Amino acid sequence: MTMSEGYVITDDGLRLFYRRIGEGPLVLVLNGIPLVDDFAALADRRLIVFFDNRNRGRSDAVRDRSQIERGVHHDVDDLDTIRRHFRAERVNVIGHSYAGVTAALYAMKYPQYTNRIVQIGPMAAGEPRQYPTSLSYVDDVFRTAMARLPELMKDPYASVSVDDCRRFWSVIAPIYVTNPADVTKVTWIRCDQPNERNFMPTWLDHLQPSIHQLRLTTDDTAHATAPVLVIHGRKDRSAPYGGGRDWAALLPNARFLTIDEGGHAPWIEAPALVLDAMRTFLDGAWPIGAERIGTAAIG
């Protein structure tokens, strides 16, 4: 299977690092470099491009506020820059966690270039809301980690050392898996990279606010006519299960797949189920178990 690496230059001059695997229809994986090993099997008959978002991983750090102040909307436009770089008429997009929001927004802004979208454990859009216990998962693991956050983040704007980064993730990583033995499978911990160690100010000042400020209407989502598969773990502590169901209800051509024992990265708990569902969907069909959801309001 062919593999190569390189950079795509954004319209405002930043380099986005990518790793490409396979050949065929283009699939872009947001914040995807840590997920290469997990999702590489999808490249058996597709071109999968995993890349670091701007100011993440091995992509360039932003040089001034104008390159980050639009938050998630920069990432939406960067997706289309990468599509154009690889000369694809239409593109499939995979987005996990907050990048699931990016993927959906891309389908709304660039419907003519969108083929299919996969959201995995997507963060809810709009103002934060409290979901009932049937649609969220809060247990002692989550409460213990949150109780230690003030100690770990006394100054979220301070430069973070490698040791401090590792200490932070040793406390936070357990919330992302349902089996404590699977903590080592949380692959997005990259404390050796300055962009990752010092991601918190970008998150607090730009990315998170841009998602919370979304006020999506049916007119907005009506543009997202591409099929969307929302995959969500019922035991997701980070992005509530109810948020994924809201996305599946709001997007006009979406279906929802529940991973009953899944956490925030449900491919860890159910790799065959999740990968097979993604492969079936990218091949043009709905996977078994994907259901339509009733109406919902986000934002």
SS3 15: strand
SS3 114: strand
Closest CA to 37 of 275, 277, 282, 278: 275
The 3-state DSSP composition of the chain as helix, strand, coil percent (nearest 5) reads 45, 15, 40
Amino acid at 104: A
Question: Among residues 111, 74, 73, which one has the least CA distance to residue 221?
Answer: 111
Residue at 52: amino acid letter:
D
* Residue 250 domain flag: yes
Query: What is the model's pTM?
Result: 0.96
Tens-of-pLDDT digits for all 299 residues of the chain?
788 999 999 999 999 999 999 999 999 999 999 999 999 999 999 999 999 999 999 999 998 999 999 999 999 999 999 999 999 999 999 999 999 999 999 999 999 999 999 999 999 999 999 999 999 999 999 999 999 999 888 899 999 999 999 999 999 999 999 999 999 999 999 999 999 999 999 999 999 999 999 999 989 999 999 999 999 999 999 999 999 999 999 999 999 999 999 999 999 999 999 999 999 999 999 999 999 997 654 44
In a domain, 182, yes or no: yes
Q: In percent, how much of the chain has pLDDT > 90?
A: 94
Its domain, for residue 93, covers 3-282
Q: Which residues pair with 184 in a beta bridge?
A: none
User: Would you list the DSSP string of 221-233?
Assistant: HTT--S-EEEEEE
Annotate 92-102 with b (16+ C-beta within 10 A) or e (fewer): bbbbbbbbbbb
Residue at 291 is within a domain: no
Does 292 fall in a domain?
no
299 inside domain: no
Q: Is 222 a domain residue?
A: yes
Number of domains forming the structure of the chain:
1
CATH label of the domain that carries residue 86: 3.40.50.1820
Interhelix angle 140-152/162-172, rounded to 10 degrees, is 160
In a domain, 288, yes or no: no
Is residue 130, in this structure, part of any structural domain at all? yes
